[in-house]
Structure 1
Amino acid sequence: MITEDADGELRRLARDSKFRHRDAARRGLRFRVGGDVADLVAIVDDPHPCAMTDVVFALAGATRSWLNWVPMPAEAVCLAANEIAARRAQGDQVEVGRLSLSAAEPATATLAARRVIGPVDLRIGAFPEPDIRVPLRRPARSSIWRYDGVRPVAAVPPPSAGAVAMLHQVGAETWPSMLSGYLQAAPLGELPLDDLLGLLAHLPDPPPTARWQHLARSTPTYWYRLLQPWVCLGLLHHAPDEPWPSSTRRQVLIDLAFGVEDWAADAALFALVTMAFRAPGHRREVRDLVRGRLDAAVGAGRVVTIEESLAHLMLVTPGCTASDHAKARTVLARHGVRPPQRRKRLSFG
């Protein structure tokens, strides 16, 4: 976050007669009150964009899921891993030989938990339909997971040491906004595709910084949740000379979004939404992709652990319609989350 009082700073900018982007600041305030993504789009589409419009965008999205931060893991296996890590940090000698889940959870979540807990016998009670192991769309040229029976296995080779070092450099801190995150992730785009996919599936340990050492004592699985959006932002910079419709970066991100049910799915959609803010010509396609993935989650008829994060993402997708907004709000209400109500008009002095 740029400031702890984003609302106050936006009000100050909106009333500053010398500030060239007063309307953008007003739009930022409207978004924070009403949650209409059209206000965010208006900030990005300012006829005279500059560094300050990016600042206004960051203020507008402060503390909002996906705009300013990646949702925390919601899976039972990760909650258990975080609790075990917290107890160990307090000095408890916690040894875990077996964990049991009533139903399968995303591959990345289970691997993240293993990274935190250590070797553990993870028992899965069921794979209810639609089977989490089956991609939503076939065929897919890019996949990071396959299943050996009930156990997820990386379908790509491990990343190079240089790729891990680059991820640590880029992802040492969180982003003020998805737009600044896109810029920060540019060095990742210089990596070979195999390295980028390897980072997604093999989950390197966190950077050795004070921030991540602190989080390791309470929510160590969060690094593994965060690293995939970083890598997917990096994918947006991969082979940039390729025309978007036939590009490797588009194909890979869509394959991940509609592959096996995983954190990589909403991470890939997040990158596409980021691109949509920057590229108006692709907004319709991205909106359709996000809505399609949300519909699949809602229609599954079973627990989908990324459903809530997909709903949050829908609400910040350019082109989000009234129907999309209502669908996302219904999902969030079911999860006990109350997003801001839409309002028709706000006035500022």
Structure 2
Amino acid sequence: MFSGDADADLRQMADDPTFPHRDAARYAMRFRSSGDVADLVAVHDDPHPCGMTDVVFAMAGSKRTWLNWVPMPSEAISNIANEIGGRRARGEQLEVSGLGLSGAEPASAMTACRRIAGPVEIGIAEFAPPDIRTPVRPGRYAVWRYDGTEPLPARPAPSEAAVGLLREVAGEPWQSPLSGYVKAAPLGELPLDDLLGLLAHLPAPPDTPRWQHLARSTPTYWYRLMQPWVCLGILHHAKDEPWPTSTRREVLVDLAFGVEDWVTDAALFALVTAAYREPDLRPEVRQLVRARLDAVVAANRPVTIEESLAQLMIVTPGCRPDDRVLATAVLARAAQDDDEDEEPSPSPSPVAKRRWWRRGS
């Protein structure tokens, strides 16, 4: 029925007078053209929802960050881990005893590196303010703690059953956040300690052809992908609890505003997914995503998750024009060449460029 070309398939649906969701297909086409999330929300809010509207929603988000795939790790330590892991997967005997970073990077990235490279010593030149080890807001739930410069899991290791279930559920990207939410339902049956333990202990990937292939190029990607899957599972935890006072809401908000980490945007992604499903949540979730993006933009140092947060802001239901302007400025800055002698723009963006935005390993 479908060609695999989302744009062509949506155009055919929109032009078919017998297709009952022509308006949804038109909204999907507009979203893919303009990126205005209001059009994507309109697809979801079709007055006659059914399985086909979910298909149209997935087509609208095809090959779009967060809607169809999780951003690739961008940290220096991740690049190093990919190099080490890839060379070993290709048969090279490579030993690494120590690494050095000019600045602190997320605990998940550091842990993923050690999962791939082994127990290497990682030296960090400085913890520039705001300190990556300090939560943005105090909260009850956390998955990381620090012993000096070393990130350590704040939760016990997950059970073997939890690890096996994660590998079964999270072996592939989602077609859309909506389908991902449905597929993650079994994870919601796990104890909360298991879910939090999965986020910090980062179990190894499934032994499947997909991950055997990625082991040769980007072995860190499994660790980046699995955490949003776990957070979608948290959305299913104790679903009978009213949202405003629910454990699932408290956990996800605490993680989103905890220490700066991959878990930050993973938790926010789950909240954005909840906002698509439940319109009453949209104003609060938009405020949460914007507040977290504001916090990283205000940091006068590199923030490796800033770009992914900006991409998430753009697909958050209720994203306002000022939200989009800020997020677009962040993405534009990330795409610029880091040339200290670059001529100033005649129309400066609302986000000042950081001269040390990119750094090597």
TM category (shorter chain) comes to over 0.9
* Structure 1 CA distance for aligned equivalents of residues 35 and 124 of structure 2: 39
SS at match of 1:196: helix
With normalisation by structure 2, the TM-score equals: 0.92
Structure 2, unpaired ranges of 5+: 337-361
* Structure 2 CA distance for aligned equivalents of residues 165 and 91 of structure 1: 27
* Structure 1 CA distance for aligned equivalents of residues 63 and 101 of structure 2: 32
SS at match of 2:316: coil
- Cα deviation for residue 4 of structure 1 reads 3.4
- Cα deviation for residue 209 of structure 1 reads 1.1
Query: 2:135 matched to which residue of 1?
Result: 135
5 Å-filtered alignment, 1:116-265, equals 116-138=116-138, 140-265=139-264
5 Å-filtered alignment, 1:31-110, equals 31-110=31-110
Shift in alpha-carbon separation, 1:3–1:267, aligned structure 2, 3 A: farther
Query: 1:340 matched to which residue of 2?
Result: none
* Structure 1 CA distance for aligned equivalents of residues 237 and 42 of structure 2: 27
- Cα deviation for residue 74 of structure 1 reads 0.5
* Structure 2 CA distance for aligned equivalents of residues 26 and 66 of structure 1: 21
* Structure 2 CA distance for aligned equivalents of residues 3 and 14 of structure 1: 15
Amino acid at match of 2:114: R
- Cα deviation for residue 8 of structure 1 reads 0.5
* Structure 2 CA distance for aligned equivalents of residues 209 and 174 of structure 1: 14
* Structure 1 CA distance for aligned equivalents of residues 233 and 190 of structure 2: 9
Query: 2:343 matched to which residue of 1?
Result: none
2:300 matches 1:301: yes
Show CA shifts across 1:105-135 (max 9, x none): 0000000011111121110110000000000
* Structure 2 CA distance for aligned equivalents of residues 86 and 169 of structure 1: 24
Amino acid at match of 1:81: A
- Cα deviation for residue 3 of structure 1 reads 5.6
Query: 1:287 matched to which residue of 2?
Result: 286
SS at match of 1:147: strand
Show CA shifts across 1:32-91 (max 9, x none): 010000001001100100000010010000010000000000000001110112222333
Amino acid at match of 1:218: S
Amino acid at match of 1:283: R
Higher relative contact order (CA 8 A, sep 6+): 1
* Structure 2 CA distance for aligned equivalents of residues 172 and 310 of structure 1: 23
* Structure 2 CA distance for aligned equivalents of residues 89 and 185 of structure 1: 30
Show CA shifts across 1:288-309 (max 9, x none): 0000000001001110000000
* Structure 1 CA distance for aligned equivalents of residues 71 and 234 of structure 2: 20
Structure 1, unpaired ranges of 5+: 338-349
- Cα deviation for residue 95 of structure 1 reads 1.1
* Structure 1 CA distance for aligned equivalents of residues 11 and 3 of structure 2: 13
SS at match of 1:11: helix
* Structure 2 CA distance for aligned equivalents of residues 182 and 225 of structure 1: 17
Amino acid at match of 1:117: A
Amino acid at match of 2:232: L
Identity of aligned residues (%): 67
RMSD after superposition: 0.9
Show CA shifts across 1:257-284 (max 9, x none): 0000000000000000000000000000
* Structure 1 CA distance for aligned equivalents of residues 87 and 240 of structure 2: 49
SS at match of 1:335: helix
SS at match of 2:140: coil
Amino acid at match of 1:170: V
* Structure 1 CA distance for aligned equivalents of residues 122 and 328 of structure 2: 34
* Structure 1 CA distance for aligned equivalents of residues 130 and 5 of structure 2: 44
Amino acid at match of 1:123: G
* Structure 2 CA distance for aligned equivalents of residues 148 and 86 of structure 1: 30
Amino acid at match of 1:67: L
* Structure 1 CA distance for aligned equivalents of residues 180 and 244 of structure 2: 23
- Cα deviation for residue 141 of structure 1 reads 0.6
How many residue pairs were aligned?
A: 335
* Structure 2 CA distance for aligned equivalents of residues 94 and 30 of structure 1: 49
